[in-house]
Amino acid sequence: MIELEGLTKRYGEKVAVDGLTFTVRPGIVTGFLGPNGAGKSTTMRMILGLDHPTAGDVRIDGTHYDRLEDPLTCIGALLEAKGVHPGRSAYHHLLCLAQSNGLPRQRVHEVLDTVGLTAVARKKAKGFSLGMGQRLGIAAALLGDPRILMFDEPVNGLDPEGIHWIRTLMKSLAAQGRTVFVSSHLMSEMALTADHLVVIGQGRLLADTSMAEFIERNSRSYVRIRGPQRERLLDVLHQAGITAVESGDGSLEVDGSKAEYIGELAARHRLVLHELSPRQASLEEAFMRLTAQSVEYHAHTGVSAPPQRWGDDWKRG
């Protein structure tokens, strides 16, 4: 269990993490979602005691990180940056971490096997691909067989097979009763793995909810209608008190109504329909709506003027 209480990090004037309070519970995968620069990595570094919070508190199973005996046996983490000496072999990288926490040499061989790096264990890390580096980071996280696991953008750089592997791994770790906390900036990725969702934007908590509830609340359902007699269709819908919105490709979209009802309505008025389909807005759209106010770097589509104060935030990690 990871408990954050009013966790805040300020770099000078800039607030990177702003009073975060939430709890990451065991037995499920908790997704930590936010656009780039939202403060996810900073939060994770504070959980590990690497960055000092400006205010607030974070505890691992009730204890401050720097009070943990052999912390790798309690919480294992994969951080975003590769963080491996390029001249050191995967084996020695893991061995020095294992030794610092009094773990047996045998554990190094076991985790190398788990992540599938046994064949290249003695090779220097500088020859590793992004995906292999990511696997080495995951091996380091698993080293102490910890009850809590934290992954920062774990699917970055992995091929489809690797992505499938890490998803299965996270789910099985949670199924074993462990706490799994995983960050991503991709809603679609979270939808496939996470049971619970913590969403932040510009360092602030935007949502702390179960995945099912988030989908329920945030996904817009609508009916898409297409037909040759568009004007009459609009009239009929209007008379029935239904607001239809014209979408770009000449079809109509109706929020909230049942497709069955619209179909019956059209039949009663002898209107030909070419399409009548119930739709759900993607979770990606829901996520973008939620964080729209807090995205740090907007792509100004269709706007010719350059963004104001561009480059002000370049220092932010």
Partner 1 sequence: MAATQVVRSEWTKIRSVASTVWTLSLAVVVTIALGMLISALSRNEYETLGARERLSFDPTFISFAGMSLGQLAMIVFGVLVVSNEYSTGMIRASLAAVPRRGTFLLSKLTVATALAFVVSMATSFAAFFLGQAMLGAYRASIGDEGVLRAVIGGGLYMTLIALFSMGVAAMLRSPMLSLGILMPFFFLISNILGNVDATEKVGRFLPDQAGSRIMQVVTPPGDDTPYGPWGGLGIMALWVLAAVVGGYVLLRRRDAQ
Give the residues lining the site for partner 1 (CB under 8 A).
Answer: 45, 48-52, 65-66, 68-72, 77, 79, 81-89, 92, 95-102, 140, 317
Q: How far is the CB of 207 from partner 1 (least distance, A)?
A: 27
- Kindly give, in sequence order, each residue whose CB lies less than 8 Å from that of residue 127, ignoring residues fewer than 6 positions away: 120
Q: By C-beta, is 52 or 270 nearer to partner 1?
A: 52
Which residues touch 209 (CB under 8 Å, ≥6 apart)? 196, 197, 217
What residues pair up with 149 in beta bridges, in sequence order? 76, 180
Strand pairing partners for 206?
none
The CB-of-285 to partner 1 minimum distance in angstroms stands at 35
Q: In whole angstroms, how close is the CB of 96 to partner 1 at the nearest point? A: 4
Q: Which is nearer to partner 1, 85 or 298 (CB)?
A: 85
Nearest to partner 1 of 120, 237 (CB atom): 120
CB of 22 to partner 1, least distance (A): 21
**For residues 243 and 11, what is the distance between their CA atoms, to the nearest angstrom?**
48
Nearer to partner 1, 84 or 205 (CB): 84
Given its phi and psi angles, is residue 84 left (phi above 0), alpha (psi -120 to 50 degrees) or beta?
A: beta
Nearer to partner 1, 101 or 156 (CB): 101
Closest separation in Å from C-beta 180 to partner 1: 17
Identity of residue 10? R
Nearest residue to 170 (alpha-carbon basis) of 188, 198, 189, 144: 189
